[in-house]
């Protein structure tokens, strides 16, 4: 199949960018979209031209590194599919495909299709973890968790941090990402000691990074390759409101000591 790519080229964060057209006459429908970019880069390298910079790692839809915007949609036209898993059969022979980086104020372009998504890492660093000292691994059946709760936690934990939700949102909001990272811990026993602190610190970090607010467009849910639902955003808002209503948080050292005591008291 013959395809034409309009690809965003930008030499660096402060450089001006532009779309450049490339003709690929021998693409195969069974190839993935990243295979297509690899093929194009081989052609560019053979001609001595600078290859196109793009992120990829696992190529199995797990790591979230491969996110780009294809024809105006993060990860492309096929629902619940990452860019690396997107087959060229999703496009028509002779189609012109526009490829650009994930667009968001909090995702500055590094080069070409690569963006800096470290703002998402800093949100997780603010509280998306469990720091309770529990000793050795507990017996798996020692803390029963209802199936409905376990399923909801696993659904939220499926987030791969690709940033598609941010790019799809008209406000550039990271609410779905933050909610997924926060809510899966809030649902489980291991996440209870730091639950209130987590809700406040992660939401504050999200705001500090310059992401927009959620106004219920639900574009994030449609763009998410793991089909994470906006219900988690509602749960995050409840968690944050309840935490704020309980009053100021104790200093971090006191909170850690309290967390350790709570963990020791857990049967």
Q: Closest by alpha carbon to 99, among 209, 24, 211?
A: 24
Q: Closest by alpha carbon to 33, among 71, 219, 162?
A: 71
- pLDDT per position as a tens digit, 221-248: 999 999 999 999 999 999 999 999 988 8
- Where do runs of H (alpha helix) occur along the chain? 33-46, 118-125, 147-157, 164-168, 175-186, 195-208, 219-223, 231-245, 252-265
pTM of the model: 0.90
Domains of the chain plus CATH, in order, are 3-114 (3.10.20.30), 117-265 (1.10.1060.10)
- pLDDT per position as a tens digit, 105-126: 999 999 999 999 999 999 999 9
pLDDT for residue 266:
38
pLDDT for residue 106:
96
pLDDT for residue 217:
94
Kindly state the average pLDDT of the residues 133-154.
Answer: 83
- pLDDT per position as a tens digit, 10-53: 999 999 999 999 999 999 999 999 999 999 999 999 999 999 99
């Amino acid at each position: 199949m013959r395809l034409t790519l309009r690809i965003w080229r930008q030499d660096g964060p402060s450089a001006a960018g532009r779309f450049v057209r490339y003709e690929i006459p021998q693409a195969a429908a069974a190839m993935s979209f990243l295979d297509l970019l690899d093929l194009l880069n081989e052609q560019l390298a053979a001609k001595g031209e600078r290859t196109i910079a793009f992120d990829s790692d696992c190529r199995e839809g797990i790591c979230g590194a491969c996110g780009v915007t294809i024809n105006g949609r993060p990860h492309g036209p096929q629902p619940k599919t990452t860019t690396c898993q997107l087959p060229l059969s999703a496009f028509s022979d002779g189609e012109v495909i526009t490829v650009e980086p994930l667009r968001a104020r909090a995702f500055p372009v590094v080069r070409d299709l690569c963006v800096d998504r470290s703002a998402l890492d800093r949100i997780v660093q603010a509280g998306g973890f469990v720091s309770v000292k529990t000793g050795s691994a507990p017996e798996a059946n020692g803390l029963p968790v209802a199936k409905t709760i376990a399923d909801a936690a696993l659904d939220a934990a499926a987030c791969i941090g690709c940033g598609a939700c941010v790019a799809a949102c008209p406000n550039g909001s990271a609410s779905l990402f933050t909610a997924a990272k926060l809510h899966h811990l809030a649902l489980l026993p291991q996440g209870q000691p730091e639950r209130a602190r987590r809700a406040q610190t992660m939401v504050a970090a999200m705001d500090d990074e310059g992401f927009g607010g959620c106004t219920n467009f639900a574009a994030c849910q449609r763009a998410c390759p793991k089909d994470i639902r906006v219900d988690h955003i509602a749960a995050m808002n409840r968690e944050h409101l309840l935490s704020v209503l309980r009053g100021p948080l104790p200093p971090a050292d006191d909170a850690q000591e309290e967390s350790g005591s709570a963990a020791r008291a857990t049967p």
